[in-house]
Amino acid sequence: MLTSFSLDPSMVATIGGAFYPTGYSMVMFPDEATAASVGTELSTRLQDSEVFLLTPATIFSQITPTVSDADDPLPSAGTEGATVRAYTKLAKDGHHALLVKTPDEETAERMMEVVRRAPYSIAQRYRMLVIEDL
């Protein structure tokens, strides 16, 4: 079952406050139907995981604002701000997202086995100090 998303304080970076949900993967799809279909399958296949569906409105209201101070007072050394801006750009084009709990490599690979069967626009896994392209 897909869960409705609400930004948790643990999902933002301690420095800069940008969206950085360590232990999760964010995958975006060109339309809601694809995101919902993949999300439903992931909910079944990854039963011990959380799967959130994020609409463009949710991305704009909860994810996008996290980068407002990400480069203040100094530019961020990481890519979290640029990554959130990429999500925002895709959301402006109507893309929907899934945020999936992927605490380890095995879970991330099982997730990608399902994701790769559909057209997706971006897939990022958030690990401690690393945003990994999937």
Structure tokens at 126: 């958030």
Contacts (Cβ under 8 Å, ≥6 apart) of 46: 100, 101, 107, 110, 111
Cis, bond preceding 119 (omega within 30 deg of 0): no
Residue pLDDT, tens place only, 6-24: 998 999 987 778 899 999 9
The answer to whether residue 27 scores a pLDDT higher than 60 is yes
What's the pLDDT at 49?
85
pTM of the model: 0.90
Q: Which domain holds residue 69?
A: 3-133
Cα separation, 95 vs 23, whole angstroms: 22
In total, how many domains does the chain have? 1
Contact 91, 3 (CB under 8 A): no
